[in-house]
Amino acid sequence: MNWIKEDFSPNSDSLIICLSSFFGVKNDPNKWEWEKSTGLLLDEVPFKRIFFRDNDKAWYQTRFKGIDGYGPHNLAKFLSGKIKESGAKRVLMMGISMGAYGALMFGCLCKADLVLSISPQTYFTAARWKKNRLEERFAGLNVNLEETDLKVFLERYNNHYTKYNIYYGKLNTTDTKMAERLKEMENVELFPLNSDKHTVVGPLRTSGELRKILLGFINK
């Protein structure tokens, strides 16, 4: 399978699942978004990892080689099996943009302890639909378009457990709109940052906040 990579060798009860963004899907199948940055933390503390990417760049809605069926529910069953296989007792899912969308979705379905969602899309605007050719990507599949809206999705499959932390640039009007439509949902907490960038992973890294969040989870 060229869409998932796992490292269960560290002796740890903590598992971090990293979902790829649209631009994190590279032509080189050996490169994985988040692998380098999370790898640096392994020098300080052990934890298990899964890297997960959508090679179709279709927001985790289409077919994945080796999985029967398609869509987030089938993928969640596969991921839940991997979580069990890892032996981890605590799970964090994280991602940027498209990966942040996936982290919210799979965090809910797999009952992760914490979701770190950085600048997520939470529904498909008409502009997104056209720009990323979603009609073409979904062709021939009965994608549940209502459930591609994460407000609908999280309300429908609320597990009353997972904590969802959403980080976004408060000066970016699109990302603010995407985040704030989830603010009243159970266990959702918003973290607006002073940025107009689409993805605010840069400020989270340079400030040391991302490292603090991840180490805090691993060492809890």
Q: Which residue range is the domain that position 190 belongs to?
A: 4-219
Residue 166 CB-half CA count within 13 A: 33
Distance CA 220, CA 215 (A): 8
CB of 200 closer than 8 Å to CB of 154:
no
Listed in sequence order, the DSSP H helices in 46-148 are: 72-86, 98-109, 126-131, 134-137
Q: In terms of Cα–Cα distance, which of 157, 151, 202 is closest to 177?
A: 151
* Res 149: pLDDT: 98
Please report, for the domain that includes residue 67, its CATH number.
Answer: 3.40.50.1820
Give residue 60's pLDDT.
Answer: 97
Mean pLDDT by 10 residues, the chain (220 residues): 94 97 77 92 95 95 94 97 98 97 98 98 95 94 96 97 98 97 97 94 93 94
Q: 3-state class of 129 per DSSP? A: helix
* Other beta carbons within 10 Å of 153: 21
In sequence order, the β-bridge partners of residue 118 are: 96, 167
In whole angstroms, give the CA distance from residue 184 to residue 6.
Answer: 34
Sequential DSSP letters for 141-204: S---SGGGSHHHHHHHS--S--EEEEEEETT-HHHHHHHHTTTTSTTEEEEEES--SS--HHHH
pLDDT given at position 1: 81
Going by C-alpha positions, the residue among 220, 165, 215, 219 that lies closest to residue 37 is 215
- As for how many domains the chain has, the answer is 1
Pair of tokens at residue 125: 């605007």
Query: Which strands, in side-by-side order, build the sheet including 114-118?
Result: 4-7, 48-52, 14-19, 90-96, 114-118, 163-169, 188-193
Query: What is the Cα–Cα distance from 202 to 162, expressed in whole angstroms?
Result: 25
The amino acid at residue 188 is V
